[in-house]
Structure 1
Amino acid sequence: MNARWILLALWPGYAAAQGFAGLGTDAEGFALPQPDPLFDFPADHGPHWDYRIEWWYLTAVMEGPDGTPYGLQWTLFRSALAPEEGVGWDAPQVWFGHAAVTGEDFHHVTERFARGGIGQAGVTADPFEAWIDDWRLAGPSFDDLTLSASGPDFAYEVSLEARGPLILHGEAGYSVKSDAGQASYYYAQPDYALTGTLTLPDGEVEVTGTGWLDREWSSQPLEADQTGWDWFALDLDDGAKLMLYRLRSADGSAWTAATHVAPDGTVTTVPDGAATGRATGTATVAGREVPVEWRLQWPDMGIDVTTRPLNPQAWMDVAIPYWEGPVIVDGSHTGRGYLEMTGYE
C-alpha cells in the first residue's frame, strides 16, 4: 500500500489532527486563486480538480406549521491529495459530507466519508447534482434543487427555488483572507425559498423557510497562524442579506470581510476592518467555552445587530468538530440566519 493509500485509509484521523488550521499548510502543486476571476456558469458549480479544497454548503432557517423554528445544514466537501481528478481507486479525491437539523432543544448531526473515482460521491454541473452515498442535492439547474439526507435520528427532504441571482463575495468573487494574500474563489446563492419535510423522532414536520448555498474553493485559504473562523449568514426581515466572517489568528487579531445584499439586489462588499464582530456571551458546549452570542457592526451600512443561538448546544461532533446552528438577529435590524464557528476544538 503506497503512501497515498495509507493517507486515504487514515484520512479522518489525519484531518482531525490538523483541524481547520490545516487549511494554512503549504499547497505545492495545486492552483491558487488569482484576482479578477472570470466565472463560467454553470460549469463552475462543478468540481475544480486543480484546487485542493472545495465545498458546497447549504444552511436553511425554517419553521413548522405552528411557528416552531428549525435549522438545517448540508455540506459536501472535497479534499484532494493531488491536483487531478483521477480514475477508479487511484483517484486522489476524498469526499466527506455533514448533515444536521437543529431545534430549540435538540441538535442531530451525522457525517459520511467517501473515496473519489468510484461513484460513491461527486458533483456534476449541468444538470446539477452533488451526492455522497444516498444523500443528494440535485435538480435541473442550480436555481431549482431538491435536497435529501438522513441520519440515525433524523431525515429531511426539501425543495429549493432561487428567488434572485448569484452574488460574488470579495472582489468580484476573489475573497482575500489575510494580509499575506491567501484567498479563495467564493460566491453564493443567498435566497432560496424552501419547502419540505423534516423527519424527527416524534414524527414528520412540514416546514417552510429560506436557504443559503455557499460555493468556495481554494488550495491554501488560510495563513499559517490563522486558527479558525466565525461565519455569519443572515436573512434580515427587511429583505436584505448579510454575510460576515472573522478569521482568527493565534495572536488574538482577526481578519474580517462582509457582503451586504440590499432588498433591491444591490451588492456591497468590504475588505478587512470595515465591518466587525465581537463576542458578547459564551456557553459551555461539549466541555469547552464557545462564544455563542455576538455583536456585528458595519457603520457605513447602518448595521449594529446582535445574534443569539436558537440552541447554544449546536455542536457538530464530527471528525473535525465545530459549532454550527441557527441564530436570531436583533438590534438595528431583525431577522434570522446561521453561525458557523471553527477552531474551538
Structure 2
Amino acid sequence: GFELTFFRRGVSPEDIKTLPSKWSLHHIYLAHFAVTDITGKRFHFSEKLSREGLGKAGAEEERLRVWIDKWSAEAEPDPAGVHTLVAHDETHALTLRLEPDKPPVAHGAAGVSQKGKDVSQASHYYSFTRLSTTGSLTIDGEQFEVSGTSWMDHEFGSSELGADQVGWDWFSIQLEDNTELMLYRMRLKDGSTDLASSGTAVSADGRPHHLEVTDFQIESMGTWTSSESKATYPAKWRLKFPSLDLVLDVVPLVADQELRTSRSTMVSYWEGAVAVTGTKQGQAVKGQGYVELTGYTERLKL
C-alpha cells in the first residue's frame, strides 16, 4: 500500500504585510509519503515542508496540481482525467498513473461534510473511490513495476475541531463487488462519537448514498501500542451497516503504520493499509482499504 498526502495552510493577510518580499508566507505546503510493504511487514514514511516562495511549492487554481520540490500530484482538467503522482526519498519512490473507474463522489449532505455542531466545523470533501493504477514503486532501492487500485481524497475547509473533540477515525474501503465505503467518526473527549460523524456508501455504478451516524456502528476489537509515541490505537474493527445488511471486519496488514511527523505537521498519527472481510446480504465479501487514526497521542491541534 502507499499514501501521498499534500496539505496547504493559509497565512493571515495581516501577517503577510510585515513580510513584503518574494519569500512572503502566503501559503505553507506540507506532504507525507508512506509505503507499506505487506509481505515484508515493513512501513516507511517521509515528509516535506516548504513555503510557496520562488516556486519551491505551490498549487494551481485551474486544475488539480500541487507540488513540493519534486513531489507532485496532478490531474487532467477533465473530471475523468488521469492523475499522476511522483514522490521519492533516499530509499523509496513512486511514479504512478491513476485512471478513475468511477466519477467523483461528493460527501456530506448537500455537498457539505459537517464535522461538528458549529457551522464553521465543516468542509467540502470529494473522492475518487476507485482508480486503476499502474507505474513503478521503489522499496529500499529496488524498483518494481506495479498495478492495482487506488483511492483519492480532496478536502478543503476550516479544518477546525470543536472544543470537545480530540480527533477522528477515518475508513476508506473498496469491496470486491465494486462498491466502496467512506466513514469518519469524530471522537469526543469522553470517548464517545460526535453526532456529526457520517459516511458515504458508493454503489457499483458510482451512485453515492449518504450515511448518517445512526446508519453504522464501529466497534473496536483490539489495540496496538506504539513503542515510539507510546500512543495506544485501536487495531481491529467490526463495522455494521444494518440498512445495507452488511458486516465487515477490518484488520491492519502491518501493525506499525504510525507516522511521526516532527519535521512537518508535528503530530503522530496512524494511517495504513487494512484487509476487509465480512458478509453482505448473507454472502461472503472481502476487500481492502485504508484507515486513519488521529488524536491518540494528544488532542489533535490543527
Q: Secondary structure at the match of 2:93?
A: strand
CA distance in 2, matches of 1:155, 1:83: 36
CA distance in 2, matches of 1:190, 1:291: 24
Q: Secondary structure at the match of 2:191?
A: coil
Q: Which has the higher helix share?
A: 1
Deviations 1:179-231 (A, max 9, x none): 33421111111121101111112611221111111111112432122111110
Asked if structure 1 preserves the Cα contact closer than 8 Å seen for 2:180 and 2:201, the reply is yes
The CA deviation at 1:270 is 1.9
The CA deviation at 1:81 is 2.6
The one-letter code of the counterpart of 2:243 is D
Aligned to 1:76: 6
| Bigger mean CA deviation after superposition, 211-220 or 137-146 | 137-146
For residues 224-235 of structure 1, what are the structure 2 equivalents within 5 Å? 224-235=163-174
Asked if structure 2 preserves the Cα contact closer than 8 Å seen for 1:85 and 1:117, the reply is no
| Match among 143, 148, 159 for residue 209 of structure 1 | 148
Asked if structure 1 preserves the Cα contact closer than 8 Å seen for 2:91 and 2:141, the reply is no
The CA deviation at 1:128 is 3.2
The one-letter code of the counterpart of 1:338 is Y
CA, structure 1 residues 307+169, in 2 after alignment: closer, same or farther (shift >3 Å)? Answer: same
Aligned to 1:91: 25
Identity within the alignment, %: 36
Deviations 1:141-196 (A, max 9, x none): 35212111012331111111111111010113201112334211111111211011
TM-score (norm 2): 0.86
Q: Secondary structure at the match of 2:215?
A: coil
Deviations 1:233-282 (A, max 9, x none): 00111100100111101021112211000102221002223212121111
| Bigger mean CA deviation after superposition, 275-284 or 159-168 | 275-284
Asked if structure 2 preserves the Cα contact closer than 8 Å seen for 1:295 and 1:306, the reply is yes
CA distance in 1, matches of 2:59, 2:157: 17
Asked if structure 2 preserves the Cα contact closer than 8 Å seen for 1:171 and 1:269, the reply is yes
1:337 aligns with 2:289: yes
CA distance in 1, matches of 2:98, 2:122: 29
1:130 aligns with 2:73: no
- How many residues are aligned here? 275
Aligned to 1:155: 93
| Bigger mean CA deviation after superposition, 186-195 or 217-226 | 217-226
| Match among 90, 105, 115 for residue 51 of structure 2 | 115
Q: Secondary structure at the match of 1:273?
A: helix
Q: Secondary structure at the match of 2:214?
A: coil
| Bigger mean CA deviation after superposition, 199-208 or 119-128 | 119-128
The one-letter code of the counterpart of 1:77 is F
Deviations 1:62-97 (A, max 9, x none): xxxxxxxxx110011011231699773223311100
CA distance in 2, matches of 1:195, 1:298: 33
Point out 4+ residue stretches in structure 1 off by more than 6 angstroms.
84-87
- RMSD after superposition: 1.9
| Match among 173, 181, 189 for residue 250 of structure 1 | 189
The one-letter code of the counterpart of 2:223 is T
Unaligned runs of 5+ in 1: 1-70
For residues 1-345 of structure 1, what are the structure 2 equivalents within 5 Å? 71-82=1-12, 88-104=22-38, 105-141=41-77, 143-181=81-119, 182-201=121-140, 203-255=142-194, 256-285=197-226, 286=228, 287-318=230-261, 319-332=266-279, 333-345=285-297
Deviations 1:302-324 (A, max 9, x none): 22101001101001121211101
Q: Secondary structure at the match of 1:165?
A: coil
The one-letter code of the counterpart of 2:215 is A
| Bigger mean CA deviation after superposition, 309-318 or 276-285 | 276-285
The one-letter code of the counterpart of 1:275 is F
CA distance in 1, matches of 2:235, 2:172: 15
CA distance in 1, matches of 2:180, 2:160: 24
TM-score (norm 1): 0.75
Aligned to 1:50: none
The one-letter code of the counterpart of 2:224 is A
The one-letter code of the counterpart of 1:253 is S
| Bigger mean CA deviation after superposition, 200-209 or 159-168 | 200-209
The one-letter code of the counterpart of 1:114 is S
